[in-house]
Chains A and B, each alone.
Chain A
Amino acid sequence: MNIQSVFNLLALGLGLAAIPVFAQEPISGYDYLTPEMQAMQDDDFANPGMIAVEAGGSLFSTPGTNGKSCAACHGSEGSKLDPKHIARYPVYSERLKKPVTLRNQILLCRKNRMGGPPLKYGSEQALQLEAFVRRLAYGEPVDVDVSGAMAPYYESGKKLFHTRWGQVDIACHQCHDYHAGQTFRGQKLTQGQSNGFPVYRHTEGQVVGLQERITQCLTNLRAEPYPLNSKEYIDLEVYMNARSNGLKIETPGIRY
């Protein structure tokens, strides 16, 4: 055994030993914004993400082909929806035998109870509806249950979060667990928490959901992204939302 391999083993041991140290309290991306950006997020009239929320609100009361709108069952402006339940997504569906994201639940409802027309997962309307519904849970702590049938999906998402990707060859946790708060070029790295999603990305000038944001991250890593609504993204959404448990929902958050 040469000195190189001794050093590698030692470094690996230190690396593994260090992981629990980074098991940290979740901090919202909001806390890494400048005060000006925080003020913009807090002001419904200045927050550009509210445009998507309002568009989602219109869609919520627009009838499907069978004449029923979301509001027909869930009340005007979603008044009959329980914010605590919204904060639990993704949830396990006994019927589908898999986790269902909030956006998928909306799309399923639309397809099965409103007669369609079905919306694509990546469509603007689907994103707007998700933004509107999640906004109803504003201020509610994220509360994803990953016990029982959800456990394998959580573990799979956790593994993906710790997988190195692409030509850049780094994993999500390396930036978002180890280096949150440090400066990358001119901006602060966040923990990558999901409580603000869908968020308005100031650098992109658009509202994105969590899966669209993961796609942007993977593209930056020069990795091949997965398709939206793929098993990998749903598992990541399960893990990442559970990782944000306890943080208050800020939809629509503003992030860089």
Chain B
Amino acid sequence: MRQKHRHWLFVLGTGILPLHTAHAENPTQPPATYYEWQVKDFAINEPLGGLTGNPEQGRAIAGDQHRGNCLACHKLPIPEEKFFGNLGPPLTGIASRQSVGMIRLHVVDQSRFNPETVMPGYYRPPQQLHRVARGLEGRTWLTAQEIEDVVAYLATLK
């Protein structure tokens, strides 16, 4: 019984906020190019840096607790995952409800919709961040390519 209990807790334990040692970029490398973005009617209609997203990569990033970790707060149609949070709304069918440009803005900087949001800004301008851990200064959480991958994945959820 005790063993079973511990296994359960281990699973829970792995679901805490993304771990400190993991980040999308290697801190020994200079930060990836930061692409400026424009908001129009609650949407970023142009892909960041003109990049093309890969939905399969995006699905992996959304499910990876060290990267997107979307399912920490959102229900997603990823059947192999057991634990989803409910801090945010379910994202199943999100592309039927919102344009791709709106989805992009949600991922890039949700505070444009709700200034008190608990959702991290995955591509908020790094100079707006406060007391970022040493080695992560000047970096966004996800790179522009990763953002486009996640957006491409979410765009398939109709």
Q: Which residues of B contact A (CB under 8 A)?
A: 5, 9, 11-13, 15-20, 23, 39, 41-42, 65, 71-73, 82-87, 112-118, 120-121, 124, 128-134, 136, 139-141
Q: By DSSP majority rule, is chain B's interface helix, strand, loop, or mixed?
A: loop
Contact residues in B for A170 (Cβ distance below 8 Å): 118, 120
CB pair B132 A186 closer than 8 Å = no
CB pair A186 B115 closer than 8 Å = no
Chain A 210-230, CB-CB to B under 8 Å as 1, else 0, gives 000000000111111000000
CB pair B130 A186 closer than 8 Å = no
CB pair A36 B133 closer than 8 Å = no
Q: Specify which of A12, A18, A178, A221 lies most central, judged by the most chain B CB atoms within 10 Å of its CB.
A: A221
CB pair B13 A203 closer than 8 Å = yes
Given contacts A4-B42, A166-B133, A167-B133, contact A220 B116 (CB under 8 A): no
A36 to B12, CA, bound (A): 15
Residue among A8, A183, A202, A220 making CB contact with B85, cutoff 8 Å: A183
CB pair B121 A169 closer than 8 Å = yes
Contact residues in B for A223 (Cβ distance below 8 Å): 130-133
Contact residues in A for B139 (Cβ distance below 8 Å): 167
Q: Total A-B residue pairs with C-beta atoms closer than 8 Å?
A: 123
Residue among A8, A163, A178 making CB contact with B115, cutoff 8 Å: A8
| Total interface residues in chain A, CB < 8 Å | 38
Contact residues in B for A73 (Cβ distance below 8 Å): none
Contact residues in B for A11 (Cβ distance below 8 Å): 113-115
CB pair A224 B132 closer than 8 Å = yes
- Asked whether any CB of chain B lies closer than 8 Å to the CB of A45, the reply is no
CB pair B115 A12 closer than 8 Å = yes
CB pair B9 A185 closer than 8 Å = no
Contact residues in A for B136 (Cβ distance below 8 Å): 166-167, 222
Contact residues in B for A189 (Cβ distance below 8 Å): 87
- Asked whether any CB of chain B lies closer than 8 Å to the CB of A96, the reply is no
A185 to B133, CA, bound (A): 24
CB pair A166 B9 closer than 8 Å = no
A222 to B18, CA, bound (A): 9
- Asked whether any CB of chain B lies closer than 8 Å to the CB of A113, the reply is no
> Quick one: which of A175-193 are within 8 Å of B by CB?
175, 178-179, 182-187, 189
Residue among B20, B84, B113 making CB contact with A219, cutoff 8 Å: B20
CB pair B12 A256 closer than 8 Å = yes
CB pair B132 A222 closer than 8 Å = yes
